[in-house]
Amino acid sequence: MNHLRTWFATAWQRLIAVQARDEEEARLGRLFNTMMVISLGIVVSLSIDFLLLQPLGLVGASLSWTAAAFPLAFIPLSVFCLVQARRGHIRSMILLYVWVNLLAIGAAVWLFEGVYSPAWVLFIWTVTVAGILLTPASSLWITGGVLAYFVLLWCLTKAHFYTPPLTFGLAGREFVNMSVLLIMLVSTVGLLTYLNMRSLRQALGNLRTEIAGRKRTEESLRQSEERFRGIFEHVNDIIYTVEADGTFSSISPSCERMLGWQPDEWTGHPFAQIVHPDDLPRMQELFQRVHAGRALPVFEVRILTKAGGYLASEIAATPIHRDHAIVILGVVRDITERRQAEAARQVNELRLQLAIRCGHLGVWDLDLIDHTAYRSLEHDRIFGYQSLLPQWTLEMFLEHVVPEERIEVSRLFNQAVANQSDWNFECRIRRIDGEVRWILANGSHQRDPTGLTRRMIGIVQDITERKQAEDQIRQLNEELDAKVKQRTQQLLQAQDELLRKEKLAVLGQVAGSVGHELRNPLGVMSNAVYFLQTVLTGADDSVKEYLNIIRSEIADSERIVSDLLDSVRTKPPQPETVGVVEMIEQTLGKLTLPSSVTVTLDIPEKLAPLRVDAMQIQQVLRNLIGNALEAMPQGGTLELGATENRPAGSVAISVRDSGTGMTPEVLAKLFQPLFTTKARGIGLGLVVVKNLVQANGGSVQVASVAGKGSLFTVTLPSDSAGPAATAEGAVHA
């Protein structure tokens, strides 16, 4: 049963549902569709009633069917109005239905029975529909029209100007009047009862909703009061109310935490007693403004504490209307920490400004969207402007960067924006006056409250003096490095010289006794060999060969002893004027030159003679030529040459060989005592060369390439006052 009831209710709601612009129009449409359904029931009932006239024998068949067809014509009208109302044509369908009803019922009255027609009862339904769906005035106008129509027909009937075309007869008329009246009463009363009951149910539903809403409001109010009480009792700020006479009516417990006073110590007392005297006039003025109904801004005031001091506070107050009076509800907040923070911030800002001024830092704030920038005055001064320009952009900055660095600075900016990283760089700029300066720039991204990066803030500093100082420091470091290297080289040379002298000192201690002890036996041995060669003139060749070998070895030993003595105690030279050609030829004449060695001489004509000790220089040349020959065991070329440097008053004698040459390591130790690369040598020959050359006021240089030979150059003083070498004295071989 419940299921059937639910189905019927759902089907009924779908049947009377309409498309409407608002709820009021939807309600009107549903009511109209309900009346259309009832209208269908009325016309069907009337048609059945008229069809029963014939079976009951009250009227003929033709009249019965004619009367029944008349209400059946309203079925299409009711269905049409129902369908169109569902589509949203509500008011137009109401008007159509009312007017068609009036015209059709009027026509039925005229046709059937006239003044006595049962159709007069049908006007009740039309008046009811007009009164409910249109306006009460509409029902009054329709009622007036129906009465006027009745009076008209009555007058025409009495005057015998009108006779009804069709009549049911007395019995038929009574049956039709009774049935039509019953149908209309049931339909109309049923409709009105339905509407009244629906209104009653809606009223009861609204009442229940209102009661439930009041309960929710009361519960919400109770919860709000509890929350307010919790806030009032536990909030850190002081919440208070002040009555119209200026006395406190309530103070939250936080008063004790903030000021040290118990709330009841000030409840009922005027607020003026707790305000600092200097702030009282301002406080009283604001109090009057509140009571005048005007809003108050947040203001600061000093409040008396129980300890005797005054607390810096901030007050927000608002007027509340209660019982035809204005009560002030206010909140007091302790701003001591905020004051301290503001003071600290101001100090930090002053320090920052001082640091910026002292450091000559320019501050800039760049908009990453349109590339415009806010700057400080120092920023523009760095670029050569004496005052702030009206506008500054990133492009203007890049124009100041020197062309060769502009691309790199722009690349660094784009990279910093893409990666949202810092923009740090050094570059050169050209000021507006044309001067080129160095700058240092540092920038960081700043995010807005939405988290987007729209700005970059940074500083710029002129670092030209620092760059110049760095260049000077770098130059000084380079000079210092050069001097250190030079000094180190000098120390190494001094160390080598000291080592050389130490070796020579040791040799000097040995040389005296060794020279004395060896020369006497060598002299005896040399005399003995000479005696044997004189006596044994007829000896065979092998004896003569051995005697020559002994004599050669004795000569080598005497030379070693002489080198040893000369290396440690060079005799003072006995300068004399001697020709270069003569001295070289005498030296070559005393040496045995291998056949595998080719000797070439390159000595120019008119070469100035030397002013040296001839014996010592010949020993120098003999040692150098001997070393050259030993460097060419497989043969080669020995080149002897001489050049004159008249401005310097010197002659350079060169000895070049094509032998094995020397490595740089060997060259570094070449003139050290006892250093040798020979299998039979004691490393004194070149020491003697250096000592003798220096003793004669000259110098010796050497150049050698391993595998390509060596070149020794001995520079000696010339005798520019002596006779110049003649053409015949020049040697070219």
| Nearest Cα residue to 392 out of 379, 365, 364, 373 | 373
Contact 153, 162 (CB under 8 A): yes
Whether residue 540 lies inside any domain: the answer is: yes
Residue 539: DSSP 8-state: -
> Does residue 471 belong to any structural domain of this protein?
no
pLDDT for 722: 52
pLDDT at 671: 73
* One domain, residues 557 and 584: no
Q: Are residues 513 and 386 in the same domain?
A: no
Least confident residue range of 331-345, 386-400, 668-682: 668-682
User: Residues, the chain, total?
Assistant: 733
Q: Is residue 22 part of a domain?
A: yes
Cα separation, 401 vs 413, in Å, equals 13
Measured CA distances, 604 to 291, 601, 637 (Å): 128, 10, 20
What mean pLDDT is predicted for residues 639-649? Answer: 89
Domain contains 552: yes
The mean pLDDT value of the chain amounts to 81
Residue 32 pLDDT greater than 50, yes or no: yes
Judge if 180 and 32 occupy the same domain: yes
Smallest Cα–Cα separation from 462: which of 391, 405, 393, 381?
Answer: 381
- The answer to whether 687 and 619 have CB atoms below 8 angstroms apart is no
Residue 495, in any domain of the structure: yes
CATH number of the domain enclosing 281: 3.30.450.20
Over range 555-573, report the average pLDDT.
65
Q: Which residue has the tokens 């009832």?
A: 38
Structural domain boundaries enclosing 418: 359-462
On the question of pLDDT at 499 being above 80, the answer is no
pTM: 0.36
Domain count for the chain: 5
Per DSSP, 723 falls in state P
Q: Using an 8 Å Cβ cutoff, are 730 and 605 in contact?
A: yes
Orientation of helix 541-568 relative to helix 464-535, angle to 10°:
140
What secondary structure does DSSP assign to 224-247, as a single string? Answer: HHHHHHHHHHH-SSEEEEE-TTSB
Residues 180, 32 share a domain: yes
Please, are residues 221 and 315 in contact by the beta-carbon 8 Å criterion?
Answer: no
Angle between helices 169-234 and 123-133 (to 10 degrees): 20
Are 711 and 596 within one domain? yes
pLDDT-based confidence at residue 62 (cuts at 50, 70, 90): confident
Report CA 727 to chain centroid distance, whole Å.
Answer: 89
Q: What is the mean pLDDT of residues 499-514?
A: 59
Q: Which residues of 179-196 are buried (b: 16+ CB within 10 A; e: fewer)?
A: bbeebbeebbeebeeeee
Mean pLDDT, rounded, for 81-107 = 85
Helical ranges in 654-701 per DSSP H: 664-668, 685-695
Answer whether residue 608 shows pLDDT above 80: yes
DSSP labels, 126-163: HHHHHHHHS-HHHHHHHHHHHHHHHHHHHHHHHTTS--
Of 312, 340, 368, the last residue of a domain is 340
Strand order across the 310-322 sheet: 248-251, 238-242, 325-334, 310-322, 299-304
Residue written as token pair 């500054």: 392
Reported as half-sphere exposure (CB side, CA atoms, 13 A), residue 346 has a value of 6
Report the CATH number at residue 528.
1.10.287
Least confident of 169-183, 434-448, 506-520: 506-520
Amino acid at 370: D
Task: Classify 420 in phi/psi space as left (phi over 0), alpha (psi -120 to 50) or beta.
Answer: left
Residue 689 neighbours by CB distance under 10 Å: 27
Q: Which of 68, 66, 77 is nearest to 48 (CA)?
A: 68
How far is residue 346 from each of residues 24, 356, 378, measured CA to CA in Å? 65, 15, 21
Asked if 320 and 326 touch (Cβ cutoff 8 Å), the reply is yes
Pairwise pLDDT comparison (551 vs 135), residue with the higher score: 135
Residue 349 in any domain: the answer is: no
Instruction: For residues 564 and 587, state if they share a domain.
Output: no
The letter for the amino acid at 82 is L
- Give the pLDDT band of residue 412 (cuts 50, 70, 90): very high
More confident residue, 306 or 356: 306
What is residue 574's three-state secondary structure? coil
Tell me what pLDDT residue 446 has: 86
pLDDT in tens, 425-439: 999 999 999 999 999
Do 583 and 648 belong together in one domain?
Answer: yes
Listing DSSP states for 66-116 in one string gives HHHHHHHTHHHHHHHHHHHHHTT-HHHHHHHHHHHHHHHHHHHHHHBTGGG
CA angle 522, 525, 531 (to 5 degrees): 145
Clarify whether residues 423 and 545 are in a common domain.
Answer: no
pLDDT tens-place string over residues 207-216:
778 788 888 8
Residue type present at position 298: V
Which residues are CB-neighbours of 603 under 8 A, at least 6 positions away? 580, 581, 584, 640, 641, 642, 730, 731, 732
Residue type, 153: L
Radius of gyration of the chain, Cα coordinates, nearest whole angstrom: 69
* Beta strand segments in 232-360, E: 238-242, 248-251, 299-304, 310-322, 325-334
Residues 398, 485 within the same domain: no
Cα distances (angstroms) measured from residue 483 to each of 19, 492, 496: 106, 14, 19
Q: Are residues 416 and 498 in the same domain?
A: no
Residues 417 and 286 in one domain: no
User: Residues 364, 368, 371, CA angle at the centre, nearest 5°?
Assistant: 70
Tell me the average pLDDT across 274-280.
90
Region of residue 709 (phi > 0: left; psi between -120 and 50: alpha; otherwise: beta): left
At position 538, the amino acid (one-letter code) is G
Structure confidence at residue 515 as a pLDDT band (50, 70, 90): low
Q: Is the pLDDT of residue 337 over 80?
A: yes
Percent of the chain at pLDDT above 70?
A: 85
Residue 634's CATH number:
3.30.565.10
Q: What CA–CA distance (Å, rounded) separates 476 from 478?
A: 5
pLDDT digits (tens, 9 = 90+) for 389-405: 999 999 999 999 999 99
User: Residue 582 pLDDT more than 90?
Assistant: no
What is the model's pLDDT at position 157?
Answer: 87
pLDDT digits (tens, 9 = 90+) for 485-495: 888 888 877 77
Q: Is residue 212 part of a domain?
A: no
Site of tokens 């008229």: 50
Range of lowest pLDDT (7-11, 81-85, 223-227): 7-11
Segment 647-662 shows an average pLDDT of 90
- Looking at the structure, tell me whether residues 14 and 131 fall in a common domain: yes
The answer to whether residue 467 sits within a structural domain is: no
Distance CA 270, CA 260 (A): 18
Q: What is the reported pLDDT for 162?
A: 86
